[in-house]
Amino acid sequence: ALMRLLSNVKNPLVLLLAALGMLSVFTGDLRAAGHLHDGGSGAGIAFFQELRADKSAEKLQAMVSNTATVVRGGKEEELPLRG
């Protein structure tokens, strides 16, 4: 989960917003410093959306069983697939 959060923070748009926010702080334009907040919010939202999507995918995967039909000795047989 930490690696995913770091990958969201490394997003070029997030980095640009952070740089603009820091520049605004240094120049005294605190109203424009909201770019820091925007970048952090965007990274946080993306992180939690991806986390929820992963959990949903895991639940769907648990509901699906993959099998193969094989013929052995003239008889058809369903066997589970192993990853």
Percent of the chain with pLDDT over 70: 89
| Rounded Cα distance, 33 and 27, in Å | 10
pTM of the model: 0.52
* Residue range 42-74, pLDDT digits in tens: 777 888 888 899 899 999 988 888 889 999 999
Q: Residue 35: pLDDT band by 50, 70, 90 thresholds?
A: low
H runs (alpha helix) in 1-83: 2-9, 12-27, 34-63
